Chain A
Amino acid sequence: MNKPVALITLASLAMTAALGLNASHTAASPSSSAPPSGSITVSAAASLTDVFPMIATAFMKRYPGTSVKFNFAGSSTLVQQVIAGAPVDVLATASEPTMSKAVKVGFVGRPLLFAKNSMAIAMPAGNPAKISTLSSLNRSGLLVAVCAVSVPCGTAARDLLMRNSVSVRPVTLELDVRAVLAKVIAGEVDAGIVYVTDVKSVGSKVSSIAIPSELNVTTTYSIATVNESGNSTAAQAFVDYVRFTTSAQGIMRAYGFAKPW
């Protein structure tokens, strides 16, 4: 983002190191004496399905006695679940607008931006429909899957197509990005617009086309504690761990997520 944020980050890392604590930098954090323990449930965007369990493993190693469970779905679904009172402790969405819906109604604490993603075109392995560019997605008879605009990957796909003036009539509007990816892997569609990280996570099961950054769109991931969390210490520790530790951020990089700052 910008310098002040980077400085705050550094300062908080320094404090973390000095105090041996991870929850010392936000006013929202409760008493900072007890180390995090017990179990938390993290509601996370579908595109975090592969990376978050790795981060959780590192987190649980860092804080013995904690355990992390996950609830993966489309970000909008997760927000509605939190608003409906789902017993979760942390919310991580694939875009800021979805997170701000939960912020506006006062259901989560102050969100932190922790990763950035951009879009790619995924095709079934071997690219049977011989798609070569983004603009070739408008070829008639081509079966293209995208997300519904109610979820972040759908908004991003719509923006991507608009930005490049490509008009595509998709055959299906899936409700999370993993559903798009699954239809591509199964070969039921010729192409799907997914995140760069999705393509990376499934390796050779799909072929893909990278989109140059000047033509691409990005989405910024946001994480916050849920106000009604029954374990706010561990929830805050997880949020801070994801955002501020080099080990969590290193794992994010390894899975292809970019820095949001």
Chain B
Amino acid sequence: MVSHSTRGRAPWFLVVPALLALLLLIAPLLALLTRAPWGSFTEILSSPVALDALRLSFITASIATVLATVLGVPLAWLIARSGLAGTGLARTLVLVPLLIPPVVSGVALLAAFGRRGTLGQFLYDQFGFQLPFTTAGVVLAEAFVAMPFLVIAVEGGFRSVNRQYEEAAATLGASSWTTFRRVTLPLIAPALGAGMVLCWARALGEFGATITFAGNFPGVTQTMPLAVYEALESDPSVAIALSLMLIAICVVVLFALRGNLMRPLAST
């Protein structure tokens, strides 16, 4: 891989660490394969706990991605295009959930949306509604952690769009909404697609914020990563089978993305 991207003979002082890096990233995943309980694989994956966790993970990650798209695309536009004061700060703030430990995100979400949280207490007192320990709480935790991926990808998309197309549409009498819908959105489609897929994959893998904020109950808040963690305590082979399932999903997603969809990210 490395030698293809460099012209002529690649220098050893780059090739050796590069191969080590590759080994570091891949060896643990391969090791997992050697420990996999192949004989009981289908049995484990068709157990109620695994099916519940898988179903819940797919549903919550998908809803979180929709939520992140509906809110994140306008935010990305605001950061990339509005020219308003403070967009630089906004862009930095968007990155915070990406960098802080997810368990810290969980604590922060509790402080805001917990039953005694700043907003959560209001929701609870007024409507008797609370987010922790609910599937909605899982979606919120996932959206919180995963939305930055989408915003950053889409923002890059907005920045790389040639604005002459939009100006031409406006000159021809298109309203700003029509221009956005018919010209800008199709132009950022690859960036949006990549952002949504990354956001979905990150949401699917969310653990720390989810267990801290939403708790752990099969069928309600126990997503795949939580099921992996709990299985590790009682039956590691189940944990390995579930882990391989998650890895397989991520690999499929990445293969689907290779090519056009990943390209916009390189420009961000």
Contact = CB atoms under 8 A, between A and B. Distances in A.
B215 A172 contact: yes
A145 B233 contact: no
Given A186-B110, A187-B115, A188-B110, A172 B233 contact: no
Contact of B133 (A74, A151, A172): A172
B132 interface: yes
18 contacts: A143-B133, A148-B230, A148-B233, A150-B234, A151-B233, A170-B217, A171-B133, A171-B215, A171-B220, A172-B133, A172-B215, A173-B216, A173-B222, A173-B230, A174-B215, A186-B110, A188-B116, A188-B132
B217 A173 contact: yes
A188 to B, nearest CB: 5
Nearest to A83: B236
A91 B82 CA distance: 59
Interface in A179-198: 183, 186-189
Contacts of B218: 173
Interface of B: 110, 114-116, 132-133, 211, 215-218, 220-222, 229-230, 232-234, 236
Contacts, number: 54
A175 B229 contact: yes
Given A172-B221, A186-B110, A186-B114, A145 B215 contact: yes
Interface of A: 74, 76-77, 80, 143, 145, 148, 150-151, 170-175, 183, 186-189
Residue among A80, A145, A171 having the largest count of chain B Cβ atoms under 10 Å: A171
Contact of B116 (A148, A171, A187): A187
A188 B221 CA distance: 15
Contact of B216 (A77, A80, A174, A187): A174
Nearest to B217: A172
Given A143-B133, A172-B216, A174-B215, A186 B233 contact: no
Contacts of A76: 233-234
B230 A150 contact: yes
Residue among B133, B215, B220, B221 having the largest count of chain A Cβ atoms under 10 Å: B215
